[in-house]
Amino acid sequence: MTAEVLKLPSFRFESGAEFSDVPVAYQAWGRLNARRDNAVLVCHALTGNPAVDEWWAGLLGPGLALDTERYFVLCANVIGSPYGTLSPLSIDRASGKTYGPEFPVPTLRDTVNLHKMLLDALDVRRVAFAIGGSMGGMQVLEWAFAGDFVGGLVPIGVGGRHSAWCIAWSEAQREAIRQDPAWQGGRYMPGTGPAAGLAVARMIAMISYRSFQSFGDRFGRDRDTAEVPGSFAMQSYLRYQGRKLVERFDANCYLCLTESMDTHDIARDRGDYREVLGKIHQPTLVVGIDSDLLYPPAEQRELAERIPGAELAVLQATHGHDSFLIEVDEINAVVLDWRRRVIDPTLQS
């Protein structure tokens, strides 16, 4: 399915930056009911896109957690992404060139505010629940502060604010891009740019996305001589992942989005962190992964303990942070059970 693109007349970032004719790419499945209150909002991760049917197929469809016969399921592309929404790749009408490094860093709240405008334009009057992992989970937590517009929350593999640990991983990736001579301060021509730096950034990220056991079980000390004689299979895998990202992503977008994630702090301008968590009133299912190196289970336990009435589910999985994209059957089962008990009874036909 090809993404739809809706253009909004204007949008203002929290920083004050203003844009006109703002594109927002999205995909949707199912139908809105007569009350237009059966929407489910799926929030995608860092290098993800709106194609939920590709990366979360095990959750999307009749009888699954994202039941397309019962719900109108929608996923919108975030600000800064190269997949159709306003980003560094958008054309600045004043110069006729892409914004590139001049594009302002959006906050996660900017993305949520833009997506609220999209939902309003589509006449969605209420979201039954919002769900997402990693950067998607950050958006889910921000939706908690949209009044009663969202009925439930399912943040997966995330904390309430970006930790120093996560910021450090992201900065190492950004520096790999900046140190590539082809970076040129971000002012490279379309189709060129810091391919080597972006590939290394992805290699660094992949290490944080998996776990000691995951890499050990899959690669161990096996050799892979097909690419580089004498190299380890682990090395070949990381190089492959780097090449794959270079083929589908943009370096300016990568910097923009990782910096956007660093802004994640639901207590910013709202008060004391613990008190802000205590003000979340929606039914919440917090999902953690026991082997997550990037967002360890302690962060999910904190959310579940501080958000009134929240439930906590911790997946026993060996793949680390990426388990929310790999162990889809387990994710589906946990979310489906919660949805049937907590959300479905509130939905009127």
Catalytic residues: 134, 292, 321
- Phi first, then psi, for residue 63 (nearest 5°) are 80, -5
DSSP H helical ranges for 155-279? 164-178, 195-209, 212-218, 233-248, 251-262, 273-278
CB-count burial class (<10 Å; 0-12, 13-18, 19+) for 298: exposed
Cα distances from 225 to residues 220, 229, 233, 235, 238, in angstroms, run: 15, 4, 8, 11, 14
CB 134 within 8 A of CB 45: yes
- Phi first, then psi, for residue 283 (nearest 5°) are -55, 130
User: What whole-number distance in Å separates Cα of residue 139 and Cα of residue 247?
Assistant: 26
- Which residue, 94, 118, 159, 95, is CA-closest to 301? 159
Residue given tokens 């929350």 in the structure block: 153
